[in-house]
A = this chain, B = another copy of it.
Amino acid sequence: MTADRSSSGNRRYDPDRKERIIEATLEVIAVQGVSGTTHRRIAEAADVPLGSMTYHFASLDDLIEQAFLKLTQEIAHHFDDAFRKAQTVDEAREAVVEVICGWFAVTERKMTLILELYAYVARNPQTRHVMTGWMAKSRQALERHFSPDVAASLDAMIEGASIHNFMHPDGISREAARLIVAKLTA
């Protein structure tokens, strides 16, 4: 439907096709879940022929893994940014609150993708490195401002609170989050 490809003499110069396929994969997973993610749906979403799938990626699982890797890298990058900006411990505390109450909760898409990732990793141990890599980066970002133990507890709390806020509309308020963070970092 996005035209361009089906018209204009077909074959086009398309240097970042691979990248676009990966992004389309995340889009499909977000809407259909891993269980509904197929070569054909991704190809349609990325506006590329079906043959491109097996040409650029060894298998569907290979593609899904690369998509999830990209997802975690992007999130980790934003996460790191947020804590790099913080100058004081108090600003870092506020950043944690923001991550819990503002950032994740806003984008249902991102949370859905993360949950799909967790389930996927749980069932495909060979992809666990995607998770451990992500967690290591998050931990590192938090350890700019907090001790390793406190960083670990904050990381876990961010995880749990994000999920709960996603599942339950009136989960944890900004004030409540502020109090929790204060307790954990006291």
Interface set of A (CB-CB < 8 Å, partner B): 31-37, 108, 111-112, 115-116, 118-123, 128, 131-132, 135, 149, 152-153, 155-161, 163-164, 166-168, 171-172, 176, 179-180, 183-184, 186
CB distance from A33 to the nearest CB of B (A): 5
A123/B112 in contact, CB under 8 A: yes
Closest residue of B by beta carbon distance from A153: B180
Return chain B residues, CB-CB under 8 Å to A156.
157, 160-161, 163-164, 171-172, 180
Q: A112-B123, A149-B179, A180-B153 are in contact. Are A163 and B160 (CB under 8 A)?
A: yes
Return chain B residues, CB-CB under 8 Å to A112.
119, 122-123
Copies in the complex: 2
Return chain B residues, CB-CB under 8 Å to A153.
157, 172, 176, 180, 183
Main secondary structure of the interface of A (DSSP, over half): helix
Return chain B residues, CB-CB under 8 Å to A179.
149
CB distance from A72 to the nearest CB of B (A): 12
CA distance A183 to B172 in the complex (A): 18
CA distance A149 to B161 in the complex (A): 13
CA distance A132 to B176 in the complex (A): 20
Residue in A31, A149, A167 whose Cβ sees the most chain B Cβ within 10 Å: A167
Closest residue of B by beta carbon distance from A149: B176
A176/B152 in contact, CB under 8 A: yes
Q: Which of B35, B108, B115 contacts A115 (CB 8 A)?
A: B115
Return chain B residues, CB-CB under 8 Å to A171.
152, 156
